[in-house]
Structure 1
Amino acid sequence: MDESTIEFTSRDGIAVHTYRWAPEESPRAVVQVQHGLAEHAARYRRFAEALTDAGYLVYAPDARGSGRTAQGAYGSWGADGWPGWVNDVALLRERISEEHPDLPVVLFGHSMGSFATQHYLLDHSADVDAVVLSGSTEVEWLVPVLDADEPADLSAFNEPFEHRTGFEWLSRDEAEVDAYVADPACGWEAPPLPGIGSLAAAADPDRVAAVRDDLPMLIVSGDADPLAQGGATVELLAQRYRDAGLGDVEVRLYPGGRHELLNETNRDEVTDDILAFLDRVTAGE
């Protein structure tokens, strides 16, 4: 796997640091990765290794306020806040088109990155060839939690689990949890995200109806992920897209899996399932 970096400039002037992981041979398709809240794109290197080994080219930005983009000022959301985060997805997609105009592009969004993906699809579903949502949920219940005047308090997510570090809700793999806790670019207290209330549009059936009905979608979640609420909110999310007319919406719920499936004890199984989906939806491209 060849690693390089690029930058693109957001509409409010943020230089968005982006990893580019390339396979040894000519790529078959592009996977655009959007990470979650209080983490960063470098944590997806292992996933990128599997993708590039299978012939996929990977672009993974450090979202605004995160990773190297933040330059140490974690949670600095910029003037555009949440709408800017969603627009950053579109800007990177445009950059990929400039560099690889003939390759299909699959969006992979985890957690907050999956919410940005849901929001992005309302206006841009024609610009991508398939979508994978990880650690996601239907957002109607979540927006009031995120749209608060106080910093986001995620500690409640750990209530059903042991309290060794407070981040056991992320994974059953203690080594992965410890690596997250030890990483200064992870787990920081997220300040209020201006404009996050606009994410509610992703739960509006009239808006979701604009998503093209031939867009393939895979939703992966652990049934012990607090955001999944036992799988109920994940199934509700999938049904919302099916009700909007999408005919290829697949859900995979992993028993005992927690929030970060790519860092879970069964991560190889999850990765294989994602690769099988990617191979299927890009086979004819």
Structure 2
Amino acid sequence: MIEEQRFGYRGEDGAEIAAFRWTGSAPAKAVIQLAHGAGEHSLRYLEPLTPIIEAGYVLYSADHRGHGATAGPDRLGDFGPGGAAAAISDMAVLSKKIRADHAGLPLILFGHSMGAAFAQVYLTRHHGLIDALVLSGTAATWLPRGERRDPNSAFENPRTPYDWLSRDTAEVDKYIADPLCGIRFTPESGASFRTIGEQAADPGYLNEVRKGLPVYIFVGDEDPINDKLARVTPLVDRYREAGLDVTFKVYPGGRHEMLNETNRAEVVADLKAWLDRVAG
């Protein structure tokens, strides 16, 4: 049985952030802090990550500014005056709370898509707060400023605007039906997101990260965000050159949301195996 706690905390600028904690009945072995993607929210991860929670991993997740319960339906896509940098700062505040609540347990940061972009920047600023890093649906580079690309253009005759998320049509339909899902950014928020992406791509920011930090990167090779792996392998190379302990897992045919893909059971089992090695 999984116990859910909903709580709020304040960012450094006083903004109220909605957050969740899920725990199972097994003794806690580590804590996972989730950073979700753009146009979605924390609650989407409870179902796919239930086997991991039940195995003894405490899961924390906050809805980023402009998303989910933090934003509500009227402010979706708006990070506010602090932009994406404030959302990354919120992640560090939550990490410090987790450290206080679970002293002695390893803390693993897990970022998906936009959350993975945030996590890449977080790693350069707050790496001392975490013991390991997981990235999914990620890339090493962002599109140049002003360039727009429809992710669905990679697929012939798409059924919906979000076919690029998963081969599982039921999961795509669930996403579309969710009033808190759907990618939308104010112009200012979109610009701030691209700016933090440029910082994450600067290898100089990795110089201070602890050598040997475990990193797990998993993607589908049909995820248009990584452009058939061309935009994610440089990230793997960058981290390995910086001395990080990188495990890179590629799923043939997989699209953007591997936790919601047709082979999700395999994906979650592989993730759990890596987590177990890291958590000891």
**TM norm. shorter chain > 0.5:** yes
Which residue type is aligned with residue 54 of structure 2? D
Cα separation, 2, equivalents of 1:277 and 1:132:
10
Matched residue of 1:198: which SS? helix
How far off its partner does 1:235 sit?
Answer: 1.3
Cα distance between partner residues in 2 of 1:65 and 1:269: 32
TM-score, normalization by structure 1: 0.92
**1:158 aligned residue (152, 156, 162):** 152
Preserved contact between residue 26 and residue 55 of structure 2 (Cα < 8 Å): no
> Is the Cα–Cα contact under 8 Å of residues 26 and 54 in structure 2 kept in the other structure?
no
Q: Deviations over 1:53-92 (max 9, x none)?
A: 1110000111111000002221121221111011011011
* Aligned counterpart in structure 2 of residue 189 of structure 1, from 162, 184, 188: 184
> What is residue 220 of structure 1 aligned with on the other side?
218
CA drift at 1:201: 1.6
RMSD: 1.5
Question: What amino acid does structure 2 have at the position aligned with 1:123?
Answer: R
**Residue 162 (structure 2) aligns with:** 167
Q: Which runs of 5+ in 2 are unaligned?
A: none
In structure 1, the residue matched to 2:98 is 96
Shift of 1:234: 1.6
Query: Which residue matches 1:271?
Result: 268
**Shift, 1:143, TM fit:** 5.4
Where does residue 120 of structure 2 map in the other structure? 118
Alignment of 1:1-285 (within 5 A): 1-72=2-73, 73-139=75-141, 142=142, 144-145=144-145, 148=146, 156-161=150-155, 162-192=157-187, 193=189, 195-196=192-193, 197-246=195-244, 248-283=245-280
Q: Deviations over 1:195-231 (max 9, x none)?
A: 3313312111211222211210010000000111111
Is the 1:38–1:186 Cα contact (8 Å) retained in structure 2?
yes
CA contact (8 A) 1:21 1:48 kept: no
Instruction: Give the match's secondary structure for 2:180.
Output: coil
Kindly, what percent of the aligned residue pairs are identical?
A: 43
Task: Tell me, in whole angstroms, the C-alpha distance in 1 between the residues paired with 2:108 and 2:8.
Answer: 20
Alpha-carbon distance between aligned partners in 1 of 2:128 and 2:169, rounded to the nearest angstrom: 40
Task: For structure 1, list consecutive stretches of 5 or more residues without a partner in the other structure.
Answer: none
CA contact (8 A) 1:12 1:78 kept: no
Shift of 1:47: 2.8
Distance 1:54 1:170 in 2: 27
Distance 1:9 1:143, change over 3 A: farther
Would you identify which runs of 4 or more consecutive aligned residues in structure 1 move more than 3 Å? Answer: none
In 2: Cα distance, 1:133 partner to 1:188 partner:
19
SS of the equivalent of 2:164 reads: coil
CA distance in 2, matches of 1:282, 1:189: 36
Secondary structure of 1:65's partner? coil
Quickly say closer, same or farther: Cα 1:188–1:218, change in 2 above 3 A. Answer: closer
* 1:6 CA displacement: 1.4
What SS does structure 2 have at the residue aligned with 1:59?
strand
**Secondary structure in 1 matching 2:208:** coil
Secondary structure of residue in 2 paired with 1:195: helix
Residues 26-60 of structure 1 deviation map (CA, whole Å, 9 limit, x = unaligned) = 31110001100010000001133111111100001
